[in-house]
Chain A
Amino acid sequence: MPRLRRIAGLVALAAGPVLVLGVFFVLPVSGMLGLGLWPDGRLDLEPAWEAITRERTARVAWFTLGAAASATVITLLLGIPAAYALYRLAIPGRRMLRAILLVPFVLPTVVVGVAFDSLLAADGPLGFLGWSDGPPAIITAMVFFNLAVVVRTVGSAWESLDPRPGEAAAALGARGWQAFWVATFPALRGSIVSAASVVFLFCATAFGVVLVLGGMRYATLETEIYLLTVNLFDLQAAAALCLLQFVMVLGLLAVAHRARRGAVAVQRVTARPRPVRVSDLPALLTTLLGVVLVAVPVLALVLTSLRDDGTWSLANYRRLGRSGDPDLPVSVTEALANSLRIALDATWMALLVGLLVAIVVTRRSYSPAERRVRGLLDGFFMLPLGISAVTLGFGFLVTLDEPPLDLRDSPLLVPIAQALVALPLVVRILIPVLAGIDDRQRQAAASLGASPLRATLTVDLAVVSKPLLAAAGMVFAVSLGEFGATSFLSRADHPTLPVLIFRLLGTPGEHHYAMAVAASVLLAATTATVMLITERLRVPGVGGF
């Protein structure tokens, strides 16, 4: 009896998330598959194959992989020395420097694109480099964006690394480099591989940055899907590319998973930072380069937003509130209001589903059957990890536009898509927290007379409330900046701020570019505020990867 009741409880808890994922993930993805492989209701691989073997597709695929690989290597080369300097050495102000390096990661992708565009434009501060569009700009922007991932992941591993194996190696006669190689590197390998795989994944699926900087000429798979859909209306080819993308991301995740499994178990201690020596100079210079790389585009963005007709003024910001521009459906401030409303909806949706998923997955299994069911659910809920925001947006676009699920004009379509994009994030924050609760706490509560609901409130809620708030902040920030899925789904008369910024960039007119820059500053400031509040909660794991 109790067994049946428990399995019934599990099913009831899981039903909500399963239904949500079924309708808003499985359906769009299978719709996308159908469009690519079953045009006209029967299996026909010809058009998909034709789209994949196009000369342009091959170029796009190679550019995607090449740009991502170069950006990953450069990010590691910059990030590992910076991680060492900022987490291992007693540099004055290192907390401040760490915070500066983190800034880009919370910037919306469109904002990063605009920042580099304004920096590298022919008449911009770095126009002389001639990088105004094309691979160098795209790769630099990718590095800018992902430096924080490497510094933070490798740095926090390095910070708590037991220094004694290195000291033992030194005592046995190893020089600095040899000691690093034999003692430190093996212990860091796991975190480096993990950071590298995350960076590569982020770069390979970068969308906003590439769309802004690469235009039509330099496309990655993600932007190509968008261009095929929105500009060329070649939905079948877009679906084929989505498939290619899907396979690529799944492959990447599998490789990352395998690579991480080989990590060595490492003794963690709180080591004190070491005074700086002359031999640390290369690391310090690299760190400086990283800080400059991060600070310059942000400063350029702010400065550009304050220039109007060759003078310093706030005119660009004043234009943001003005409606009645014939080229724009709404004013920038209205778009910001849209974004905030949508982010609020996306946040409660992602939290609700994410919390249910985390509870279902972490509860103790009492029988092999129950364990199998839980394992299946676990795998099912992780599926959205394997799909890019663009693919999801595209899937929504092609499936949720006809009865019984005609959500094309529903104000909830965009928040739902954004919530799904943010869902893995929520789940990844909450699962370790819930899994860390000793099940005997709940048993102790139950034996003292607490009903299952009451035991959950007493034990789980007390532990999970802070991480839940932090996750809310993360989802809110992600939703504010989300561009990949939103660019497909945003209604023309209700654009979000990133969508409007992208539109401003593509609209001729003397003040539109400057307005896009000012709007980017506004969006960045809003996102950064949310992230700052989240950071104050100091939840371990948030912001780590």
Chain B
Amino acid sequence: MLRIDDVSVRYGAEVALDGVSLEVPDGQVLAVLGPSGCGKSTLLRAVAGLEPLAGGRIFADGVDLRRTPTHRRGFALMFQDGQLFASKSVAGNIGYPLRLRRRAKATVAARVEELLDLVGLGGYGARRPETLSGGERQRVALARALAVEPRLLLLDEPLSALDAALRERLAVDLRRIITASGTTALMVTHDHEEAFALADRMALMRAGRVVQVGEPAQVWAHPVDVETALFLGYDRVVDGAATQVVLQAAGLAGAGAVALRRSALEVSPDGPLEGVVRASRAAPEVVRLVVETPALGEVSAVASTTEVAPGPGQRVRMRVIADRLAVVGDAATAGQVP
């Protein structure tokens, strides 16, 4: 189990990590999610032993790692662009950590074959890294990281260097491989979809601090504040009097601000909200609208593609879909950090 306890890292006067505390139980995947520059990569590097701590401690299985250099921590770090060794073949790369530990040649060869099969690259052993596609390289990097069954797998934006279609497919594979090997993992990413696809729990970071921790669905349903909601992909946040309008229309109770997805309002002839269409655009599955409403101002809405789409200037009625909105800062249910 990894325990990060009140860890701070400074670059000169700049504070990159400010009192971060997190735990990753054995066999779980924790995703640290945040915009670029929030300190998440620094956190990963600090855990790997690549950044000196200005304060706090990091424990692995209860042992303080302060005096343990990177290469003795028994972790494996996987970079977003793989960082394969160009001078070694695919098999040479995957077998590298095994040879460092002086495993017998036959053992290494067998384990490399096993890992290549695990990541779906059987028969690729003799290839050179530069002949692989981006996705294949990441698989090799993953196999190399898993070769010695690390206590902790550290993933630095493992999929973000790949294109969208490949990313989705590899995310599923990655989740399968990590859970199949029972690996404990800490992953950082700025992509919430990546975090959802891979993680058991997620921690949101902003400006060097952790602002929210919880299961992905839970964090998603109850973002701790407005910025978090917007970062998670909510379209806009309404507050004040407008909150009650939305909540009543959705048939919910509550207070504070409400975050809306782009599809939270749907055109419906007997819906409780009314407005004038300002713009209309057909997307593959829905028609996306911008609607001016007296109560909420300009909001996004969707209409079904099966009917004739309402055009600009047309008056429409809309209903609010309860599971496409979230009450922000609902401390009772959100895993808020004190």
Which positions in A face B, CB cutoff 8 Å?
1-3, 366-368, 438, 440-441, 443-452, 454-455, 458-459, 462-463
Contacts of B85 in A (CB 8 A): 441, 445, 458-459, 462
Contacts A447-B76, A449-B100, A458-B85; A368 near B12 (Cβ below 8 A): yes
Which positions in B face A, CB cutoff 8 Å?
12, 45, 48-52, 66-67, 69-79, 83, 85-88, 96-97, 100-101, 144-145, 147-148, 154
Q: How far is the CA of A69 from the CA of B88 in the complex (A)?
A: 50
Q: Pick the residue among A440, A441, A443, A459 that contacts B70 (CB under 8 A).
A: A443
Is B96's CB under 8 angstroms from A440's CB?
no
Contacts A1-B66, A1-B67; A449 near B148 (Cβ below 8 A): yes
Q: How far is the CA of A458 from the CA of B93 in the complex (A)?
A: 11
Q: Give 8 closest A-B pairs by Cβ, nearest first.
A: A462-B87, A447-B77, A448-B97, A446-B70, A444-B83, A446-B71, A449-B100, A440-B83
Taking A440-B83, A450-B100 as known contacts, 9 extra A-B pairs with beta carbons closer than 8 A to each other, sorted by chain A number, are A440-B79, A444-B77, A446-B71, A447-B76, A448-B147, A449-B74, A449-B100, A449-B148, A454-B71
A459 closest partner in B (C-beta): B85
Q: How far is the CA of A227 from the CA of B170 in the complex (A)?
A: 74
Contacts A449-B71, A450-B71; A443 near B100 (Cβ below 8 A): no
Contacts of B83 in A (CB 8 A): 438, 440-441, 443-444
Contacts of B51 in A (CB 8 A): 366
Q: How far is the CA of A53 from the CA of B86 in the complex (A)?
A: 60
Most chain B beta-carbon contacts within 10 A, residue among A441, A446, A451, A458:
A446
Is A448's CB under 8 angstroms from B154's CB?
no
Is B52's CB under 8 angstroms from A3's CB?
yes
CB distance from B308 to the nearest CB of A (A): 49
Is B76's CB under 8 angstroms from A443's CB?
no
Contacts of B154 in A (CB 8 A): 447
A-B contact pairs, 30 of them (CB 8 A): A2-B49, A3-B52, A438-B83, A440-B79, A441-B83, A443-B50, A443-B79, A445-B71, A446-B49, A446-B69, A447-B48, A447-B71, A447-B75, A447-B77, A447-B145, A448-B71, A448-B76, A448-B77, A448-B96, A449-B71, A449-B72, A449-B74, A449-B101, A450-B71, A451-B71, A452-B69, A452-B71, A454-B71, A458-B96, A462-B86
CB distance from B146 to the nearest CB of A (A): 11
Contacts A1-B67, A2-B69, A455-B71; A449 near B87 (Cβ below 8 A): no
CB distance from B81 to the nearest CB of A (A): 8
Contacts of A462 in B (CB 8 A): 85-88
Q: How far is the CA of A447 from the CA of B155 in the complex (A)?
A: 12
Is B100's CB under 8 angstroms from A448's CB?
yes
CB distance from A514 to the nearest CB of B (A): 51
Q: How far is the CA of A368 from the CA of B100 in the complex (A)?
A: 33
Q: Please report whether the interface of chain B is mostly helix, strand, loop or mixed according to DSSP.
A: loop
Contacts of B148 in A (CB 8 A): 448-449
Most chain B beta-carbon contacts within 10 A, residue among A440, A444, A450, A462:
A444
Q: How far is the CA of A542 from the CA of B85 in the complex (A)?
A: 24
Q: Pick the residue among A3, A438, A443, A454 that contacts B77 (CB under 8 A).
A: A443
Q: How far is the CA of A458 from the CA of B83 in the complex (A)?
A: 13
Is B70's CB under 8 angstroms from A447's CB?
yes
Contacts of B77 in A (CB 8 A): 443-444, 447-448
Contacts of A458 in B (CB 8 A): 85, 96
CB distance from B230 to the nearest CB of A (A): 31
Q: How far is the CA of A1 from the CA of B65 in the complex (A)?
A: 12
Q: How far is the CA of A443 from the CA of B83 in the complex (A)?
A: 9
Q: How far is the CA of A3 from the CA of B74 in the complex (A)?
A: 21
Q: How far is the CA of A458 from the CA of B85 in the complex (A)?
A: 8
Most chain A beta-carbon contacts within 10 A, residue among B45, B52, B88, B144:
B52
Contacts A440-B79, A443-B48, A443-B70; A448 near B87 (Cβ below 8 A): no
CB distance from B177 to the nearest CB of A (A): 17
CB distance from A466 to the nearest CB of B (A): 11
Contacts A459-B85, A463-B87; A449 near B67 (Cβ below 8 A): no
Is A454's CB under 8 angstroms from B67's CB?
no
Q: How far is the CA of A450 from the CA of B48 in the complex (A)?
A: 13
Q: How far is the CA of A448 from the CA of B73 in the complex (A)?
A: 9
CB distance from A450 to the nearest CB of B (A): 5
Q: How far is the CA of A462 from the CA of B84 in the complex (A)?
A: 13
Is A448's CB under 8 angstroms from B69's CB?
no
Most chain A beta-carbon contacts within 10 A, residue among B73, B77, B144:
B77
Contacts A443-B70, A448-B145, A463-B87; A454 near B75 (Cβ below 8 A): no
Contacts of A459 in B (CB 8 A): 85
Contacts of A463 in B (CB 8 A): 86-87
Contacts of B71 in A (CB 8 A): 445-452, 454-455
CB distance from B95 to the nearest CB of A (A): 11
Contacts of A445 in B (CB 8 A): 71, 85, 96
